[in-house]
Amino acid sequence: MKKISILLISAVLFFTTGCDKYIEGYDLSPNSPTQVTPALLLSTIEVSTFATFNGGVNRAASVFTQQLEGTAEQMKDVANYVLLEGDNVNEWNSIYTDCIVEANGLIDLAGADNPYYVGIAKIIKALNLSVATDMWGDVPNREAGLGIKGEAYFSPNYDSQEIVYQDIQALLSEAIELLSKDPADNKIIPADDDFIHGGDATKWVNTAWILKARFANRLSKRDETSADKVLEYLGNLDGNATDAMAMFGTNSSELNPWYAFNNERGTYIRMGAFYVDLLKSISDPRLPFFCATDGAGEYTGATPGSENVDASMIGPLYGETPNPIPLVSLVEAKFLEAEAYMRKNNAGAAAQAHNDAIKASVLQVTGADDDAYYAAQASETASTISMAKIMTHKYVALFLQLENYNDWRRTGIPALTPNNGPNVENGGVIPVRFPTPQDERINNPNATVNPDINQNVWWAN
């Protein structure tokens, strides 16, 4: 696995103070970079994006979807649906300052002479914009991250989620065009500085097509051509398609956030009873990888509001080793295909894609096929497949991924029973969005008034 240096985390400091020197009038360390390069900036925004998809926002989302349960301290508040405007300030700031600002910076720095760097930056910008709008609704978009251009952009206006999604799709289309250019059109080609695909432009193109399908599918309630677009975009994948993974190392600054959280704040989160019981009910071979055993050697989950710190912790795949976690995967692509075919009333094709997705996930997670499990869960036909089966198995397969929260808000699958314990707030309703962060509300006069966290975002209506 590639090492992710802590210097990459700090590259934003170098860029925002100029590309030539980060300290003027002082001796410079010979071991510290004095000039930001496309390579350094790319590595920086990728590391920040890994944190976006596996940090505080996703911890809360995983509790809301009951894959996990908050059992102590601030995660107990999340389990009780106490979601305050000060809770995700750091996550908001990281999305915009560490990811979107720096992606804009890379686009400008790389310029027309380096289309591969620009293309990758546009994909990463699209990924981070999607998290912002999916969690908060209307957000800064067209004026976001442009503060370096002057005071006029210090308080960016908000765009509607519909506009944000149009722009996300445009970014991905532009990225595909740029990454499809001849290598000779680039002065510099990404390599080891690209932790995700090692500078392989073709793999990035495939990732962009899957993302276009993901975001087209997100608009299933808003765009009657959504299913057609999903299948069209996925039809552009080729044999070079691979998963885009959030990569981690073994040093303290490089750890998988789930692994770090498990070790540093072990009582805060436990496996959710709904998710564990679901996997046990279908004898799922991925259970011992996703879920650790409890003190009695059993696989158990905490029920909402129970504060059961004796339940199982996150399992060895993500919770005990610094393993990579998917950002965009072929397993997800197959589930997108299955849903799209189901919405187009092609049940036979939906069943085949569903079966293929399950088999791919089991093999990837466990390292072996399981014919008995496939016979029971991955042998659907046109007469037996259903949307509930597709979405439930996607929920199982995409463990600890933000797409679970997005899918649940859009489809209501799986059916979750909210926490109704004595300490629950928010009317005993699972939150469906995040409040505007406190710093943004105070410092940006264009920020939206805090919406009701029970109010769906645009695409979920």
Q: How many alpha carbons fall within 13 Å on the CB side of residue 298?
A: 10
Omega cis (within 30) before 414: yes
The reply to whether 13 falls in a domain is yes
| Integer Cα distance of 36 and 318 in angstroms | 33
- What DSSP designation does 292 have? -
The reply to whether 374 falls in a domain is no
- Helix, coil or strand: residue 271: strand
Q: What is the CATH number of the domain that holds 438?
A: 1.25.40.390
| Alpha carbon 263 to chain centroid, angstroms | 22
CB-CB contact of 108 with 309 (8 Å): no
343-360 pLDDT per residue, tens? 999 999 999 999 999 999
The reply to whether 66 falls in a domain is yes
The reply to whether 248 falls in a domain is no
CB-CB contact of 451 with 426 (8 Å): no
Counted domains in the chain: 1
| Integer Cα distance of 49 and 53 in angstroms | 6
The reply to whether 23 falls in a domain is yes
Domain limits at 92? 6-235+271-276+427-447
- What DSSP designation does 291 have? B
φ and ψ at residue 302, rounded to 5 degrees: -90, 135
Per-residue pLDDT of the chain (461 residues; tens, 9 = 90+): 344 433 333 333 333 333 332 223 333 333 445 578 999 999 999 999 999 999 999 999 999 999 999 999 999 999 999 999 999 999 999 999 999 999 999 999 999 999 999 999 999 999 999 999 999 999 999 998 777 778 888 899 999 999 999 999 999 999 999 999 999 999 999 999 999 999 999 999 999 999 999 999 999 999 999 999 999 999 999 999 999 999 998 887 788 899 988 888 889 999 999 999 999 999 999 999 999 999 999 999 999 999 999 999 999 999 887 789 999 999 999 999 999 999 999 999 999 999 999 999 999 999 999 999 999 999 999 999 999 999 999 999 999 999 999 999 999 999 999 999 888 988 889 999 999 999 999 999 999 877 889 999 999 99
Closest CA to 208 of 182, 187, 238, 184: 238
Taking the CA atoms of 357, 358, 363 and 364 in sequence, report the sign of the dihedral they define: positive
Closest CA to 122 of 107, 110, 102: 107
The reply to whether 166 falls in a domain is yes
| Integer Cα distance of 260 and 320 in angstroms | 9
pTM: 0.92
The reply to whether 187 falls in a domain is yes
The reply to whether 378 falls in a domain is no
CB-CB contact of 50 with 42 (8 Å): no
Taking the CA atoms of 410, 411, 416 and 417 in sequence, report the sign of the dihedral they define: positive
Closest CA to 163 of 461, 460, 459: 459
